[in-house]
Structure formats: structure tokens, C-alpha cells
Amino acid sequence: MSRAAAPGAALVLVLASAGVAHAGLADRIGATFALMAEDFARAFQSVEGLIVSEEGDTLYLDLGEERGAQVGQEFTIFRKGAPFVHPLTGAPLGQFEEMLGYAQITRVQPRFSEARYVPVDGKPRPHVDDGVRITRGRLRIAVTPVLDLTGSKADLRRVPYLCTLVLERSKRFQVADPLTVGELFANGGARVEEVLSVPDRAMRMSTSLDVTGWVVPVLLERRGVTYLDATWISAVTGTALFSRRLPLVPPTAAEEQRFPWEPGVED
């Protein structure tokens, strides 16, 4: 079985083993996440721009609201080098590029944005006219287990699989196998709270999975309303770049999101 097919196959196994008594809450979380997934895809749409000014560790980019810039986006900074040509025909094929670091957008204006410069050891500082981009390729990310702050005691193990299906369907992300990710958190090996609050820990775990970011689903309650909060954690700095929060959809809406072969909602 190919690795690409693993998340879907693992989902079937979890569905077969998880008790249906708590199926409704997991489905409501999955359906609620589906409503916010477009925001994640939009935040990491492919885009390329230039550094137009710099002031210390603050970079100014020619990407503003008009070009889809958003607070929380993370760009790779690069510098174009010498061109390379075909060895026989001499035809130009492209240019070499040097990766310089990262830029995390902190403020957006209509025609430009401010970004925090994140250096990479051994690389020179960026200058005006160096490029920034979010790659056209799929971004490899990981979804943590749900951090349940409501004390529901529900079996939410299937939620990362549901989130994975939604993110993969966007064609913007390649999501690490939830079974592999889950093993990192099994038996106290790691805690979701560490991904949210301990940058060094989040960065080390990102390296082990070869991902560029984390999506951390958190279930919480405020004034009698249960919410899903989904936070994007950078693999580069281990810090939260942005989050989205929505109240859980009602059980009837969650049931409509289900596949024909899944057990019915009972809670």
C-alpha cells in the first residue's frame, strides 16, 4: 500500500474500532472544520513578490490585500543568482536561487505588507529586490490529535482523519499520515499542549515528520457554547501564525456530512 493511501485506509480502521456512542461529537468537529478549511487554503495560496524595503528585522513586501496577502502567511525568501543554460544549445533554462530565510506577515495594507524576518543559520540577510514566495507545490503539514478542554471524555481519535480528508481535498496540502502523527502523542510521548506553547518542541517534531506546519484542533466551551478552534503553528519558528474559531455545527448538520458507509449519529 502506498503512503499516499495510508490516511484513507487508516480512517476505515478507526471507524471500525471506535465506539459509535461518541460518533456525533467527532462528526460535528469534522463538519465544523470543513467550514474553516477554505480559510487555511486561502492563507497559503501560491503567490510571489519582492522585498521593497527593510528596517532591522522588519521587511516590507509588495504584496498587499489586493494580491491576497494575509496576516499569518509565511514566505520563503530567495535570491536569484546566475542563469543556467542548456549545455548543447546554449538556450537559457532558468536561474539558480539561494534560499535566505523566511518572512512572516504581521500587518497588511492595501498595496504592501510588513513581515518579520526569520533568519536561517549560515545564510546572508535579504536585501531589497530579493524575492518571497509561497510555493505552488502542495505544503506538507500535520494535524495533531484534538485537545479537548471541555472534559467531554468523547472518543475523538477519528477527528484528525476527518480533517486530513478535508485538507487533502483542497489540493493545497499534503497531510502527514494521522496514524504516524498519532504515534508521536501516544502513551505520553508528546503532548498537544507542547505544540501550542513550546516552540522548540514544535520545531523538533516538525523536523521528524518533515512538515512545514501544524494544524492544532482545540475543543473549548465559552458561556455554554462549544467551539472548535483550529490554530496554524509554524514549523519554522514553532509559534502560532493564525487561528480560526467557530461554534460546533448542530448534530443534524454533522450527520449530513457523513459518508454512506459510516455509522449513524447516536449521541
**pLDDT tens-digit profile of 160-213?**
999 999 999 999 999 999 999 999 998 778 999 999 999 999 999 999 999 999
Gyration radius from the chain CA atoms: 21
How many other CB atoms are there within 10 angstroms of residue 118's CB atom? Answer: 18
This prediction's pTM? 0.81
Residues of the chain within CATH 2.40.10.410 domain(s) are: 47-134
Give the CATH superfamily of 47-134.
Answer: FlgT, C-terminal domain (2.40.10.410)
At 253 the pLDDT is 59
Q: In this structure, which CATH number among 3.40.640.10, 3.90.1150.200, 3.40.50.10070, 3.20.20.70 belongs to the domain 3-43+138-256?
A: 3.40.50.10070
What is the pLDDT at residue 17?
Answer: 41
Q: Which residues of the chain have pLDDT under 50?
A: 1-6, 8-23, 261, 266-267
- Asked if residues 118 and 126 have their Cβ atoms less than 8 Å apart, the reply is no
What pLDDT is recorded for position 257? 54
Q: How many CA atoms lie within 13 A of 134 on its CB side?
A: 23
Residue 20 β-bridge partners:
none
Task: Write out the residue limits of the CATH 3.40.50.10070 domain(s) in the chain.
Answer: 3-43+138-256
User: How far, in Å, are 25, 32, 42, 120, 227 from residue 245 at the CA level?
Assistant: 16, 9, 16, 32, 7
**Tens digit of each residue's pLDDT (9 = 90 or more) over 130-152:** 999 999 999 999 999 999 999 99
- The most distant pair of C-alpha atoms in the chain lies apart, rounded to whole Å, by 71
Q: Residue 200's pLDDT is what? A: 96
User: How distant, in Å, are the alpha carbons of 109, 129, 139, 190, 208 from that of 70?
Assistant: 9, 21, 17, 31, 28
Distant-in-sequence contacts of 21-25, Cβ < 8 A, 24+ apart: 21/155, 21/266, 21/267, 22/152, 22/154, 22/155, 22/156, 22/267, 23/262, 23/263, 23/264, 23/265, 23/266, 23/267, 24/251, 24/254, 24/255, 24/265, 24/266, 24/267, 25/152, 25/154, 25/156, 25/267
pLDDT score, position 94: 72
What is the structure's pLDDT at 258? 56
